Amino acid sequence: MSATSSSATRPAVVVTGISGNLGRTLAKLLHKHERIIGIDRRPFVGRPKDVEMYELDLRKKKAEDVFRKNEVKAVIHMGIMHDPRMSEEEHHSFNVVGTTRLLEYCAKYGVKKVVVLSSANVYGPSPDNSNFLTEDAPLMAASRFSGVRDLIEVDMLAHSFFWKHPHIETVILRPVHIVGPTIKNAPSNYLRLRRPWVMAGFDPMVQLIHVEDVARAMVAALRPEPKGVYNVVGPGEVPLSSVMRELGNTPIPVPHPIARPLLRTLFKYRLANFPPPELDHIQFLCAVDGSRWVTDVSWKPRNSMRDTIRSVLGE
C-alpha cells in the first residue's frame, strides 16, 4: 500500500484482478501513462514501483476505502475467477457479489468510466449458432454448462449498470479464447497438451486472441468513444485441426458419444482438469463478430494468427 506523494493527487485507474496474467500485462502497458491502483487477493509478482497495490477481497468493506481515499476516474474490472475446481458457491459469491460491490462504488464515487471483462464464452457453443454471433445474440452458455452461470451474471450486471447509469461510460468486452505463454485457462491448457482429444469428425472454426492484444483492448476501452458491449476478436478464425498442426500436436480422435461420459469420470477422479461441458467448444461453433469493436476503436490485433497460436508454447 504505497503511494508516492507526487502521483497521489492524480486521478487513478483502479484495476481489479491485477495479479493475474492479463492484469500484469495490462499494468505494464498502462503504468507509464496512468496512475494505477491494483486490487487483488493475490500478491502482484514483479509489480512496477508506481503501481499502488491493495491486497484485499472486493467483497470486504475495506475495498470501499480505495474509492473513499482516492480520486478514481476509471475502473477496469477483471477480478473474475474461472476455477472449475473451486466450490460453486465460493465461485459465484466471489464473481457476482464482488462485481455488485464494485459497481456500487463506481456509482457512489462518481467514476466516469467502467470497463468490465466478460468473455465470448457467454454465448456458448451450439450446433445451431450462426457463424458469427453479434453482441445482441442471447447468452446461452449456461443452458449446457451451468459452471459459466456466474460469468453470464457478471456480464448482465454490467449490462444493467450501463442502462441504469447513462452518465457513466460502461464498456463490456467479450474477447474470444485468450491464449498466452503463461495463461492457465482451459483453451491454453488444452492447446498445450501434446496428445489432445478431439471430437472425431468435428473440426469447428476457433477464434483465439493473444493476452497482450486483450490488454491492449482493455486500454483502448478507456478512450471516450467506445460505449456498451463489444465482442473482441483476435487475428481471425481458423479450424481447430490447423491449430493442432501448427503446434505439432498429435490429436486423438474420440467419438463424441464416448468422450462425454469418459471425461466426466476422469474429471470426477481428478485425472483430467477439463469440465466435461467444455467439450462443446471443440465440437461446435462459438464464433463471434467483432466488427463493432473494429469500427469504434479502429481495432487491429498486433499478433498474427501464427504468433497467437504459437504463444501457448511460451516461445
Partner 1 sequence: MLERLTDRVKKGLRDWTDRLANDEQKHRLQALARPENEYGVDPFGFSLDYSLSALAPFVWLYRNYFRVETYGIEKVPAGRVLLVSNHSGQIPLDGAMIGVSMMLEASPPRAIRSMVEKWVPSLPYVSTFMARVGQIVGTPENCRRLLDAEEAILVFPEGTRGINKLWPQRYQLQEFGLGFMRLALETRTPIIPVAVVGAEEQAPALMDLKPVAKLLGFPSFPVTPTGLPIPLPTKYRIYFGDPLRFTGRPDDEDSELDKKVRTVKAAIQSMLHQGLKERRGVFW
Question: Which spans of this chain sit near partner 1 (rule: CB under 8 A)?
Answer: 127-132, 134, 199-203, 205, 235-239, 242, 245-246, 253, 255-256, 284-285, 287, 304-306
Residue with cell 459459466: 148
- What is the CA 119 to chain-centroid distance, rounded? 5
**Which of 80, 305 has the CB closer to partner 1?**
305
Give whichever of 200 and 266 is closer to partner 1, judged by the CB atom.
200
Q: How far is the CB of 178 from partner 1 (least distance, A)?
A: 20
Q: Which is nearer to partner 1, 21 or 311 (CB)?
A: 311
Q: How far is the CB of 188 from partner 1 (least distance, A)?
A: 19
For 158, the grid coordinates are 454490467
Task: Tell me the CA distances in angstroms from 92 to 87, 126, 201, one per residue in order.
Answer: 9, 24, 35
Rounded CA-CA distance 9/18 in Å is 21
> Minimum distance from CB of 203 to partner 1 (Å)?
4
Burial of residue 203, with CB atoms counted within 10 A of its CB: 0-12 exposed, 13-18 middle, 19 or more buried: middle
Cell readout for 30 is 498502462
**Shortest CA distance to 117 belongs to which of 26, 218, 268, 254?**
218
Instruction: Give the Cα-Cα-Cα angle 55, 38, 212 (nearest 5 degrees).
Output: 125
CB 58 within 8 A of CB 101: yes
CA distances from 35 to 12, 32, 49, 117, 125 (A): 5, 8, 11, 20, 39
Q: Read off the DSSP letter of residue 93.
A: I
The answer to whether the beta carbons of residues 6 and 199 sit under 8 Å apart is no
Distance of closest approach, residue 136 Cβ to partner 1, in angstroms = 10
> Please, which residue, 63 or 286, has the CB nearer to partner 1?
286
Report, in Å, the least distance between residue 200 CB and partner 1. Answer: 6
**Sequence-separated (6 or more) residues with CB below 8 Å from residue 130:** 137
Closest distance between partner 1 and the C-beta of residue 201, in Å? 3
Q: Compare residues 119 and 129 and give the one whose CB is closer to partner 1.
A: 129
Query: Cα(207)–Cα(179) distance, rounded to whole angstroms?
Result: 10
CB of 149 to partner 1, least distance (A): 24
CB of 199 or CB of 232, closer to partner 1: 199
Nearest approach, Cβ of 291 to partner 1 (angstroms)? Answer: 10
Minimum CB distance to partner 1 smaller for 11 or for 253: 253
- Rounded to the nearest whole angstrom, what is the least distance from the CB of residue 284 to partner 1 in the complex? 6
Alpha-helical runs (H) found in 6-138: 21-30, 63-69, 88-92, 98-108
If the CB atoms of residues 75 and 309 are measured against partner 1, the closer one turns out to be 309
Nearer to partner 1 (CB atom), residue 8 or residue 252: 252
